């Protein structure tokens, strides 16, 4: 692996968005009864992370500064 592997704004943004989606989904699963709408919102947020990464990478934010 390269020294700067994953240390780009595109990667950090995508991981942060995916993490937000997982947190929202986890909170939905902790509710009694399970909040299915909130769960699907979390799933959609997590799935948006990959296309977001691709867009940011195309904009040049995936270039390593090293």
Supply the DSSP string of 10-53, one letter for each residue: HHHHHHHHHHHHHHHHHHHHHSSS--HHHHHHHHHHHHHHHHHH
Digit-by-digit pLDDT tens for the chain (66 residues) are: 556 677 889 999 999 999 999 999 999 999 999 999 999 999 999 999 999 999 999 998 887 655
pLDDT at 7: 84
Tokens 């989606």 appear where?
A: 21
The whole model's pTM is what? Answer: 0.85
């Amino acid at each position: 692996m390269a020294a700067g592997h994953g240390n780009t704004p595109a990667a950090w943004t995508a991981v942060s968005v995916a993490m937000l989606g997982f947190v929202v989904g986890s909170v939905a699963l902790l509710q009694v009864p399970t909040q299915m709408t909130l769960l699907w919102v979390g799933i959609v947020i997590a799935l948006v992370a990959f296309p977001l990464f691709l867009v940011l990478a195309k904009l040049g934010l995936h270039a390593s500064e090293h």
